[in-house]
C-alpha cells in the first residue's frame, strides 16, 4: 500500500495500477486458457479492507478527494470483488449460492 499519491509512467495511480489493473489484466489474460479446460476455476481473494468502504465510482483514479492510502487500498479491494462477476460474462463462472460472494467456475 502506497501512502501518498504516486503515478506510474502511464499516469495511473500506483495502488490502482497494481491492486486493481494488475489483478484484472492477469486474470483476464488467463481466460482463453481457462475456457479450454474441463473444469476451470477463478478464485478471487480480497481482504477485510473491502468491508470498510463503499465503492466511490466518482473518483476511481483517486484524483478528486484527499489521498488516503488506507481508503484507496479499501477501494481497490471493493473493485477486486467485482471481477468474479465480470469473468462470468466470459462464461467461466456461476454463483455458488445467492448469499455468497464466492463464485465457482463452470
Query: For 52-70, what is the mean pLDDT?
Result: 85
Cell representation of residue 55 = 465503492
Residue holding cell 465503492? 55
Q: Which of 16, 73, 83, 103 is catalytic?
A: 73
Chain segment 28-55, per-residue pLDDT in tens: 888 888 888 887 777 777 777 777 888 8
Higher pLDDT, 2 or 12: 12
Per-residue confidence (pLDDT) for residue 102, from 0 to 100 = 44
pLDDT reported for residue 94: 54
Would you call 73 a catalytic residue per the annotation?
yes
Please count the other Cβ atoms lying within 10 Å of the Cβ belonging to residue 15: 21
Amino acid at each position: 500500500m502506497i501512502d501518498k499519491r504516486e503515478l506510474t509512467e502511464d499516469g495511473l495511480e500506483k495502488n490502482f495500477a497494481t491492486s486493481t489493473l494488475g489483478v484484472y489484466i492477469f486474470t483476464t489474460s488467463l481466460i482463453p486458457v481457462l475456457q479450454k479446460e474441463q473444469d476451470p476455476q477463478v478464485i478471487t481473494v480480497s481482504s477485510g479492507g473491502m468491508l470498510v468502504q463503499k465503492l466511490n465510482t466518482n473518483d476511481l483514479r483517486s484524483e478528486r478527494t484527499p489521498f488516503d492510502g488506507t481508503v484507496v487500498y479499501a477501494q481497490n479491494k471493493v473493485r477486486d470483488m467485482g471481477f468474479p462477476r465480470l469473468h462470468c460474462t466470459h462464461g467461466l463462472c456461476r454463483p455458488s449460492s445467492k448469499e455468497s460472494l464466492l463464485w465457482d467456475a463452470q
